[in-house]
Amino acid sequence: TDPVQHLSRGHPEALHALTAAVEARDPYTHGHSARVAEVSAQIGLRVGMEPGALRRLCQGASLHDIGKIGVPDQVLNKPGSLMPDEWTLIRAHPVVGSDMAGKVPSLRGSLAVIRHHHERWDGSGYPDRMAGEDIPLPARIAAVADVWDALTSDRAYRPAWPPDKALAHIAAASGTLFDPLCVEAFVDLVAERSLWPERTTFDPEALLAAAERCHPRRRAGAEARSARA
């Protein structure tokens, strides 16, 4: 009777294999793909997606990080902040992942989420600088679910955020980083768990870092000092 379990039972074997390969390389994201898929599916239900679209959303959310298979271990598991060239490698993962999945016929329905889950409502995302409703709806949904799970999970450099703090930041980014429709559906979802967003101003650096790799960014001054050294 659980719609998410029903969707996941239909996943092709290639999906499970690729998801397991990503999580085996990064112990701090164990279970992340499954949780993002679950939250994405629940948001999709609330915005009225039909069953076939829900299945494609669930598959894409499960595979959204498979491009990180192509990121070197020393970058993927680096405990400190990333250098600019390392960020370039991380930011390539949506394109790498969509290219990989595109070669498997049973996974082609997942491509919109894999390639576009880092696009942002205001056009500040990547890789294609899409904005607003030009971003595929499944990718807009997965973007919210991805950041939520990243913020509320422990990472190498920081403990998990309290759920109310994470929710407040996501709600405050509605209409800037995230589709307002998706945020509204997500707030409805977590309200069922007795969580409500507080009034706050959002921290875009924290939200973007959470979605990308959960590494702190190097500041310009630090980069300059590193270059001089």
pTM of the model: 0.81
**pLDDT attached to residue 156:** 64
Low-confidence spans in the chain with pLDDT less than 50: 1, 6, 198-200, 213-217, 219-229
**Which residues make beta-bridge pairs with 217?**
82
pLDDT digits (tens, 9 = 90+) for 16-32: 777 777 777 766 667 88
**pLDDT attached to residue 215:** 42
CB burial of 157-172 (b: ≥16 within 10 Å; e: otherwise) equals eeeebeeebbbbbbbb
Interatomic CA distance for residues 201 and 117, integer angstroms: 23
**pLDDT attached to residue 26:** 67
Burial degree of 227 (CB within 10 A; 0-12, 13-18, 19+) = exposed
